[in-house]
C-alpha cells in the first residue's frame, strides 16, 4: 500500500506539472526521476533534501515518504569495515590515490624561474584526500544497495554540518559502470535536493587503476586559498657592503 500510494501521488503530481503552462522541462524530469525510485531510496532522498529544495517545494515527498525518511539511520563512519580484507582494499585504494596525486596531478613543478610552484589541481586533490573520514566496503552490491549506502553517507555528512568532510565507498564485485551509477543516482538529483553547491561526487572505474569500483563523496569542500603575494627586496653583494659601511660611518 505504501508503494502504491507513493506512486499514485507521484503520477498525479507528474500530470499536474505537465499540464501546467509554466512547467519547466527540469521539473518534469525531476518528477519522473523520483517516480522511478524505490521506496528505500525515496526515503534517503527525502532525508537528505534541504527544506528549500525544488523537490520539497514541488511536493515530491509525500507524508508516507517523509515518515519513512525520519526513521532512516545513516551509517556510522567506517561501519562496514568488517574484515581484514576490507581494510586491505581501503589501503590499496589510498595507495592508488596517493600515486595518482603525484602522476595525474603532477605535484610540485619548477617554473621557468626555477622556483617550485604547486599546481592548483594538485592542491585541490590533496585537500579532498585529507577530507576523507569514513571508509565503507560493500561487496556485490546492486545499484539500489550502493545508492542507499552512498545516500546514507551523504545524510550523515549533511546532518553533521561539517565542512571539508568526505567518505570513500568501495564496491568490489559491482557489475554496473560506477561512473554511470554515480551520475544517475547521485549527481543527477543533487540540484533538485538543494545540494548542488554543497556536495561533490567522484567515481573511479577499475580501468583507471582503482583496485575496485569506488565512489568518493564530499560535503562543504572549501576552496583552495589564493597564493599570498610576498613583496621582497633583492640586494646585491655591493648593496650589503654599502649598508654595513654606512652603519660603520654613523
For residue 221, the 8-state DSSP code is P
Paired with 216 in beta bridges are 168, 202
Kindly give, in sequence order, each residue whose CB lies less than 8 Å from that of residue 249, ignoring residues fewer than 6 positions away. none
Determine the Cα–Cα distance for residues 127 and 106; give it in Å rounded to an integer: 15
Q: Which residue has the higher pLDDT, 43 or 77?
A: 43
Say if CB 199 and CB 217 are below 8 A apart.
yes
Determine the Cα–Cα distance for residues 203 and 171; give it in Å rounded to an integer: 11
Please state the pTM of the whole predicted model: 0.77
Instruction: Give Cα 218 distance to the centre of its chain.
Output: 3
Residues in the chain: 250
**How many Cα neighbours within 13 Å face the side chain of 175?**
6
C-alpha cell at 36: 522511478
Overall average pLDDT of the 98-121 stretch: 67
DSSP code per residue over 17-29: HHHSTT--HHHHH
Determine the Cα–Cα distance for residues 106 and 96; give it in Å rounded to an integer: 14
Kindly give, in sequence order, each residue whose CB lies less than 8 Å from that of residue 102, ignoring residues fewer than 6 positions away. none
Determine the Cα–Cα distance for residues 72 and 95; give it in Å rounded to an integer: 33
Which phi and psi angles does 64 have, rounded to 5°?
A: -60, -45
Query: How do residues 12-42 score in pLDDT, each as one tens digit?
Result: 555 444 444 345 788 889 999 999 999 989 9
Determine the Cα–Cα distance for residues 221 and 217; give it in Å rounded to an integer: 10
Overall average pLDDT of the 226-237 stretch: 62
Query: How do residues 64-80 score in pLDDT, each as one tens digit?
Result: 888 888 877 777 777 77
Pairing of strands 116-118, 108-110: antiparallel
Amino acid at each position: 500500500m505504501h508503494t502504491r500510494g507513493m506512486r499514485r501521488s507521484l503520477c498525479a503530481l507528474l500530470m499536474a506539472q505537465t499540464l501546467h503552462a509554466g512547467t519547466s522541462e527540469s521539473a518534469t524530469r525531476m518528477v519522473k526521476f523520483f517516480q522511478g525510485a524505490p521506496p528505500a531510496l525515496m526515503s534517503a532522498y527525502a532525508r537528505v533534501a534541504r527544506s528549500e529544495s525544488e523537490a520539497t517545494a514541488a511536493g515530491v515527498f509525500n507524508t508516507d515518504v517523509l515518515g519513512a525518511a525520519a526513521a532512516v539511520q545513516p551509517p556510522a563512519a567506517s561501519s562496514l569495515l568488517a574484515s581484514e580484507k576490507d581494510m586491505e582494499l581501503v589501503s590499496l585504494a589510498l595507495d592508488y590515490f596517493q600515486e595518482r596525486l603525484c602522476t595525474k596531478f603532477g605535484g610540485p613543478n619548477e617554473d621557468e624561474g626555477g622556483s617550485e610552484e604547486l599546481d592548483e589541481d594538485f592542491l585541490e586533490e590533496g585537500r579532498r584526500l585529507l577530507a576523507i573520514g569514513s571508509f565503507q566496503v560493500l561487496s556485490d552490491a546492486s545499484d539500489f544497495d550502493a545508492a542507499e549506502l552512498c545516500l546514507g553517507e551523504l545524510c550523515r555528512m549533511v546532518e553533521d554540518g561539517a565542512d571539508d568532510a568526505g567518505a570513500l565507498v568501495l564496491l568490489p564485485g559491482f557489475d554496473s559502470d560506477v561512473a554511470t551509477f554515480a551520475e544517475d543516482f547521485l549527481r543527477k538529483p543533487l540540484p533538485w535536493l538543494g545540494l548542488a553547491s554543497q556536495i561533490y561526487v567522484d567515481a573511479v572505474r577499475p580501468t583507471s587503476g582503482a583496485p575496485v569500483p569506488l565512489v568518493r563523496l564530499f560535503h562543504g569542500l572549501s576552496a583552495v586559498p589564493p597564493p599570498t603575494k610576498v613583496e621582497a627586496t633583492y640586494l646585491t653583494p655591493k648593496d650589503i657592503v654599502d649598508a654595513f659601511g654606512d652603519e660603520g660611518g654613523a
